[in-house]
Amino acid sequence: MKEYYNPNRESWKELLERPTISLKEIRTVVQPIIDAIIEKGDEALTAYTRKFDGVELENMLVTEAEIKGAAKHLTTELKEAIKVAHKNIAKFHKAQQIKPLKVETMEGVICERKSVAIPKVGLYIPGGSAPLFSTVLMLAIPAKIAGCREIVLCSPPNKEGNLHPAILYAAQLSGITKIIKAGGAQAIAAMAYGTETIPKVDKIFGPGNQYVTAAKQLVSLDAVAIDMPAGPSEVLVYADEDANPAFIAADLLSQAEHGVDSQVVFVTINDEILSDLQKEIYNQLRELPRWEIADRCLQNSLVIILKTEEEAIDLINAYAPEHLIFLCKNAREMADKIENAGSIFLGYFTPESAGDYASGTNHTLPTNGAARAYSGVSLDSFVKNITYQEITETGLKNLGPHVEEMAAAESLQAHKNAVTVRLNSLKNK
């Protein structure tokens, strides 16, 4: 990890830049894939699966037998863990349901708002170096609670042409039955435009690599809505002098093992813990099965030592991390000053992995600074809020003259007339 001592504020922007490939460069790769899916549908999808996943599929659809048979390939302990996670995630997201709103803004003028589920949604589940079955729970559960009519799940197959049994088990537990063996930018394009096998959806959800992210952004220009520009994962850990170096190292490495393009940032105002932290990182790294990936990620990661907590807060808000961990005694106080973050983890005993899997919050979060304007996925992501208004005769008499005045001031005579003809009809009664 690269160390920076008291960097001046003018250097923060450059210092905190994510190690991403040029979007222009990625689009030159992704756009032809999208075009091919639009033109050739399933034929192109099968060809790209052969090219990128190294497998020839006779049938992209996961069969009912495959879904039902997945459970026997999992340990009892893992199935129980998935059930606990499902329960917690469902409980937290059900609590986000909003009752219909009805307000009489003035006598005879009634305004309402009601949440309505997005009819068709597509869920993208990464399955490359690590099959993220936890993401199935994070997306499928709120989609079902919201009441989405059709839910399509896409995930890349392994070399044997199968999906990981934990992905299928989590999908079955969440009530998802339409599952397709397709990944990458081609799966995003298929859900956005539709193919013979995959129906066109209204909104696409799910994290992925930079090519998946670019595909989501491109299709959102004319075909479909997306949850957010969620790319390679990232974490910022802040720790004080009382933080256990083993905890810090574990949190940093848990993010680093995601992929070489993930970013890890450690911020502190106490440089005395760095020596012990480096030892912990070295010792824990050696024990990781994915140590090479984590090690390469750490080479692009940062240690930033600042003078004050106030500076740390300012830097965190400037970075807008996807995950933010406060390993400090005043975690709540510092968190209350944060304006830009995807999800915040408070205190010494709250690891990011709890939120990644089973505490109940959603782990599909904005990356690459998008937390300045985007929220993470929630129940709200799967619904639209439709407003209604109903005006009685009395209401129109009360409100109408004001609308006429405003419409006239904007030189929109037809708008004014829509009120005037109604008011005139009431005068004749």
**Binding site residue list for NAD(+):** 124, 186, 209
Main-chain dihedrals φ then ψ at residue 385, nearest 5 degrees: -100, 110
Sign of torsion over alpha carbons 221, 223, 226, 232 = negative
**Of residues 86, 93, 323, 363, which has the active-site annotation?**
323
**Of residues 164, 322, 352, 363, which has the active-site annotation?**
322
Annotated binding site: 124, 186, 209, 233, 255, 258, 323, 356, 410, 415
Q: Which residue do the tokens 């999808």 mark? A: 45
Closest CA to 93 of 112, 72, 115: 115
Contact 392, 108 (CB under 8 A): yes
Buried b (16+ CB within 10 A) or exposed e, 309-324: bebbbebbbebbbbbb
- Rounded CA-CA distance 36/44 in Å is 6
Contact 157, 126 (CB under 8 A): no
Q: Which residue do the tokens 């904007």 mark? A: 410
Give start and end residues of each alpha helix (H) in 231-273. 245-256
In the sheet where 101-106 sits, what is the strand order? Answer: 101-106, 109-117, 383-391
- Rounded CA-CA distance 70/78 in Å is 12
In the sheet where 203-205 sits, what is the strand order? Answer: 178-181, 150-155, 120-124, 203-205, 225-226
Annotated binding site for Zn(2+): 255, 258, 356, 415
- 173 CB contacts (<8 Å, ≥6 apart)? 82, 83, 86, 137
- Rounded CA-CA distance 58/178 in Å is 17
Give start and end residues of each alpha helix (H) in 268-351. 274-286, 291-298, 309-319, 331-335
H/E element, 175: none
- Rounded CA-CA distance 123/350 in Å is 28
Tell me, yes or no, if 322 is annotated catalytic: yes
Q: Which residues participate in catalysis according to the annotation?
A: 322-323
